Chain A
């Protein structure tokens, strides 16, 4: 098997003539933590939709562990080892954190095993230790709608880990978090990157600086504008023009 976990070639997605992604090429190494930045409308969320199978490419291929993902539905791709965290936390609000995690942790997600088999002890142990990790043990049996925004974000990251995916797609994990929570989330992601490949989509530059140990990719108008270490990307004149510069003018205004 190649050491590339994700290979994307000449990917184009158009919605009624509008090209959300335009001839995009992208590869991710096994075990890499990649941050993707880009201004609004650069196609970041569409990019995740493609990898998870929510949207099918108009042209081009997406290969996960060497397998073309086109024929697979969302749940099949998820079972192959792709986990996704959404921008606004999407946890099941009427279930408790423990139940949320148990659903994600379930090893056989077909109908009858889910109905007939009791969750085995190792799974319940995993859930308990995850609750510990994300700091929700005291609230494990409260409905998730009583959790704060930050706790929900963490619960969703916990659900992602419970799924034990090989590739984690994380969409703006620190939106709406306090500085302290942001930092802890960053530490958690860096810790996770030791055993997972991760793609993080983020706006918050401070946060990107914290977690961008490997490469950073800049998306612009549906294509990759440039790639490299955070410092070199930050000083790239094209990037400053389309993204950072734009922010500076905003600040000036």
Chain B
């Protein structure tokens, strides 16, 4: 036991116990969302919740690449939208066998007579499922490799990701015949024979979103704990130092960017299912920046913060824009200012530091900060216990 303590800092037993506790909390929240919340909310609100939970998945992705690795991506809208399109293409190919045209309706409208070759594989659902994750991941991996290999960092990386959003936005916007241009893909009918828009199916998508979110959270937890996660923080804080220790940061950054892109793709697909539309609109720069704001509000480098930020900001947005459609943008700007000025580490970051101290002082347990060497000192400890005030 003592030897273990010296090696790991924390015994395997306590580590296992806190992991179990965390898993228990996550499962409890997931069950609450799946079983209880549908009883409390109207179908409309539940659908909103489902969409926002999908957005929380992309927030986790942003947190990985920005919060932990320190690379501010302003182009996650592209990965999100690509995931959405991949699934939407499969949905658009669910055409009843007796229909007059075996093409998605917009194609006939623009005079396309034969299904473009790259639409063909999307007849297959397994291919689509892989494509939802892999197309954004491969794109992110490729972009990342080219950018990181040339040691492009900081604001230049952000600018390049923005440039990517503009390129993709214009491409999808301009391709009426291939992707229905600016209108995007919508009017989905069935998936696996179930009507996409029926409340029952929507509830299934809602549950699936929660399962994916839990899986994404578990993945991010696993990645960010342990040596790999510590290395990401090291790259964020002092990249060139990691080189002199023998690490090549390029590979690490490429992998994390690709995973982050895949999460965005998954989020896009689940979002598309629940909104019933995907269009180039979600590739505009404002949306990608909004994603970053969610993470900043919730707390960078805290995975829970990313999820919480995505939910809070989006619920605030939908509530406020319903009641006061004019002021939402002011509110969003103000929120960002407050976070930057007063809560630089976000809600969760604040709770973990100042919030905890405040809570202690409210309960009258003011903790005196001392030097750790004093805390460790057996003699001081003895005096504390045996010599009263």
Contact = CB atoms under 8 A, between A and B. Distances in A.
A93 B237 contact: yes
B245 A159 contact: yes
A119 B228 CA distance: 11
Interface of A: 52, 54, 73-75, 78-79, 83-84, 86, 90, 92-96, 98-99, 102-104, 106, 109-111, 114-115, 118-119, 121, 124-125, 127-128, 137-142, 146, 159, 163
A163 B230 CA distance: 16
Contact of B234 (A84, A86, A103, A119): A103
B237 A94 contact: yes
Nearest to A125: B7
B251 A111 contact: yes
A94 B243 contact: no
B220 interface: no
A163 B242 CA distance: 12
Contacts of A98: 9
Nearest to B245: A104
Interface residues of B, number: 30
B111 to A, nearest CB: 48
Given A75-B246, A103-B231, A139-B372, A92 B241 contact: yes
A79 B246 contact: yes
A122 to B, nearest CB: 10
A103 to B, nearest CB: 6
Contacts of A127: 7
Given A74-B244, A99-B230, A115-B223, 16 more contacts: A75-B245, A90-B241, A92-B233, A102-B230, A103-B231, A103-B247, A109-B246, A109-B247, A109-B248, A111-B251, A111-B255, A127-B7, A128-B6, A138-B373, A139-B372, A163-B245
A48 to B, nearest CB: 10
B333 interface: no
B54 to A, nearest CB: 26
Interface of B: 6-10, 223, 226-228, 230-231, 233-234, 237-238, 240-248, 251-252, 255, 372-373, 376
A137 B243 CA distance: 26
Contacts of A90: 238, 241
Most buried by B among A98, A99, A141, A163: A99
Nearest to A111: B251
A74 B243 contact: yes
Contacts of A124: 7-8
A75 B228 contact: no
Contact of B228 (A93, A114, A139): A114
Contacts of A103: 227, 230-231, 234, 242, 245, 247
Most buried by B among A84, A96, A111, A139: A111
